[in-house]
Amino acid sequence: MLESIKVKHFTLDKNNGALYKIWQQYNTTHGMDQETIDYVNRITYPQLKVNEVEVLSFFTYHIKLTTNAIHIIEFKKYI
The CATH class that applies to domain 3-77 reads mainly beta
Q: How is the chain split into domains, by residue range? A: 3-77
Q: Is the pLDDT of residue 59 over 80?
A: yes
What does the alpha-carbon distance between residue 61 and residue 50 come to, in Å, rounded to a whole number?
Answer: 13
Q: pTM of whole model > 0.85? A: no
Give the length of the chain. Answer: 79
Report residue 5's pLDDT band, with 50, 70 and 90 as the boundaries: very high
Specify the pairing of strand 3-12 against strand 70-77: antiparallel
Pair 32, 26: CB distance under 8 Å: yes
Pair 37, 10: CB distance under 8 Å: no
Helix (H, G, I), strand (E, B) or coil at 25: helix
